Structure 1
Amino acid sequence: MSNTPVIAAVDGSEHSLLALEWARKEAVRHGCGLLVAHVLPDHAQLYAGRRASLHDASEPQEIPDPVRDWVRSLLGADGPGLPEGVAYEALEGSVPEALRVIGSRARMLVMGSRGRGGFASLLLGSSSRAVASTAACPVVVVPHAERGAADTDADADAEQSAGRVVVGLHAAETPEDVLSFAFTEAAVRGTTVQVVSAYAIPPSPTLVIDSPFAVIPPEGLADEGDGVPAEREMLRSQTERLAPLRERFPDVPVEQAAVPGDPAGRLVIASRAAALVVVGRHHPRRTAMSLAIGSVAHAVLHHAHGPVAVVPTLKDDV
């Protein structure tokens, strides 16, 4: 079992329950441990500070944490402990900062798209956005049920798990870390990587932006093949960029798609049939200390129909 865990950030909400279930399955796929992390609410942190300052021996040694009991019951733990391979950690500090720090030792950090606070109509909570923007590890955001990410029906869950991994690619700019993460996820799932690149074209009355896009295998790129020049050039760039990944992951099937329109919109469409959508966090030429998240990642996080992995450029961000 790997020593690098998958971390699930929970707060006791239904949204974090989705994240916990997704993270538990992910840890099994990777053969690694699962660390369940909960940032204590302000009142619990104040209680802990008061107890420490007073050194009162009559106070209980353990801070009450109902979320820990909630996690134990969900995971079917026997006795006071947790199942083998699962650990729990209560954190102090602000939610984004505490999760950013603990994420520095994670394979990935998984969280719900919003927590207990905020408006019910929010597509993405402030904490999820902040963590996805700053964590040193990949952050997977699992959307809430209203966005179609959750389905309690077993068949629907199995169908989602068997879906492809979709990755957005700008051949000249997407960091290698993003592609490696996508291919690794496809490998552990035994599924296909669909590589989606988008190109701008002049407006046309016959263009239907929401129409399904075609997936073209590399062998379909012969000079006499069909396709507009921009599409053919983008597919050629994809093929060149993906060659090292194909060598590293020979058993992972690859679909290539070059499509007209907005990159974020195309990835959102593809997310309807995907187990996971993978995007880079920001433009690789941004500084390592930049807190900004790229426009494509931002839009996909807000609107995707399934889990989204936001991958930093690890060599720059650590």
Structure 2
Amino acid sequence: MIAAVDGSEHSLRALDWACAAAVRHGTGLVVAHVLPDSAQLYVARRSSLADPGAPAEWEDPVAERIRTLLAEASGTPEDVRYESLTGSVPEALRVIGSGARMLVMGSRGRGGFAALLLGSNSRAVSGTAPCPVVVVPHEARDAAAGGTAGPSAGRVVLGLHVEETPDDVIAFALGEAASRGTDLQVLSAYAVPPSPVVVADTPFTVLTPEGLADGADTAPAEREMLRAQSRRLAPHRERAPDTAVAQAAVPGDAAGGLVEASRSAALVVVGRHHPRRSVRGLAIGSVAHAVLHHAHGPVAVVPALSDDV
């Protein structure tokens, strides 16, 4: 488990989330801080001068602060390591994220404008990291949702495109639900023909697979989407029989439904993109992009982790 920090309050919220996740999964935690440009330039200059009086390592004040905070905190993982990284933030975190269970970071760091919902580094890392990236929103976005009850509260919500979402994304969502002992809500969108009458803010109906009888009171397109969900999820549910799954379908775009669900979810899980529609794996899909910008709770952006997609 990796927590990317820069000393800002936003990154400390992400660190809390990562600590709880590491304890829940029984893994170690790497706290990573990419040194600011000024520090990197100083280190490079001292190194080039070959000054025998220069310290062997740069003293990272952010790492020292994190050590102090975790030493005073309760419920932290037993194995914690600190890494001070050099290079650009997206590239440094991409390298250290290789083989990690997940990388956790705040939605906005020290830089940028206060009104931004998502910082440039969070956006770049979400689109390039080789592991799942969890973006934890800053406090103002939580407040807009009425606050949260903690990093483990609520259900896990999966945004599923039945034809395109890789198996890795589904497995990740089921694993997160199982680790919390909660259920998984799966949300998909179905196409609707253009209509002169648009009903705004129509709530979606959540059904269990057992509720998909022929006489269910749902529109044909919605019912077919729910059945397609069931077929897509069947092999995964066999591997996780103890995790309850609820299914929902919304007309049009899934992003709005996922953002609404994020108000009470412990985590929203989306695939990064369809692997065959991206350019060298760097693009981020429109649904993931929208959810990252507007969700009220943590969002996991999961790439295709295997070649079998």
Q: Please give the range of the TM-score, normalised by the shorter of the 2 chains.
A: over 0.9
CA offset digits 1:135-156 (Å, max 9, x no partner): 1100000010111179998xx4
CA offset digits 1:46-78 (Å, max 9, x no partner): 111122222212122231211011101210269
TM-score (norm 1): 0.91
Distance 2:206 2:260 in 1: 14
Q: Which residue of 1 aligns with 2:25?
A: 30
2:132 pairs with 1:138: yes
2:199 pairs with 1:211: no
Residue type matched to 2:228 in 1?
S
Q: Which of 104, 107, 121 is residue 110 of structure 1 equivalent to?
A: 104
- Give ranges in structure 1 of 5+ residues lacking alignment: 1-5
Check whether the contact 1:171–1:241 (CA below 8 A) recurs between aligned residues.
Answer: yes
Residue type matched to 1:157 in 2?
A
Distance 1:298 1:152 in 2: 23
Q: Which of 77, 96, 104 is residue 90 of structure 2 equivalent to?
A: 96
Distance 1:293 1:83 in 2: 32
Cα distance change on mapping 1:60 and 1:149 into 2, 3 Å? farther
2:239 pairs with 1:282: no
Distance 1:149 1:30 in 2: 28
Check whether the contact 1:151–1:157 (CA below 8 A) recurs between aligned residues.
Answer: no
Distance 2:120 2:114 in 1: 13
Q: Which residue of 2 aligns with 1:148?
A: 142
Distance 2:213 2:159 in 1: 24
Q: Which residue of 2 aligns with 1:247?
A: 238
Residue type matched to 2:23 in 1?
V
Give the fraction of aligned pairs with identical amino acids, expressed as a percent: 71
Check whether the contact 1:75–1:83 (CA below 8 A) recurs between aligned residues.
Answer: no
Q: Which residue of 2 aligns with 1:176?
A: 167
- Give ranges in structure 2 of 5+ residues lacking alignment: none
Tell me the secondary structure at the aligned position of residue 148 of structure 1: helix
Check whether the contact 1:142–1:149 (CA below 8 A) recurs between aligned residues.
Answer: no
Q: Which residue of 2 aligns with 1:21?
A: 16
Deviation at 1:264, TM superposition (A): 0.6
Distance 1:204 1:214 in 2: 21
Deviation at 1:83, TM superposition (A): 7.4
Q: Which residue of 2 aligns with 1:40?
A: 35
CA offset digits 1:72-112 (Å, max 9, x no partner): 1210269xxx9731000000000110001101131100000
Q: Which of 193, 211, 220 is residue 211 of structure 2 equivalent to?
A: 220
Tell me the secondary structure at the aligned position of residue 44 of structure 2: helix
Residue type matched to 2:264 in 1?
A
Q: Which residue of 2 aligns with 1:3?
A: none
2:66 pairs with 1:71: yes
Deviation at 1:28, TM superposition (A): 0.3
Distance 1:204 1:249 in 2: 40
TM-score (norm 2): 0.93
Tell me the secondary structure at the aligned position of residue 76 of structure 1: helix
Distance 2:52 2:46 in 1: 9
Q: CA RMSD in A?
A: 2.2
Cα distance change on mapping 1:120 and 1:308 into 2, 3 Å? same
2:179 pairs with 1:188: yes
Check whether the contact 1:76–1:83 (CA below 8 A) recurs between aligned residues.
Answer: no
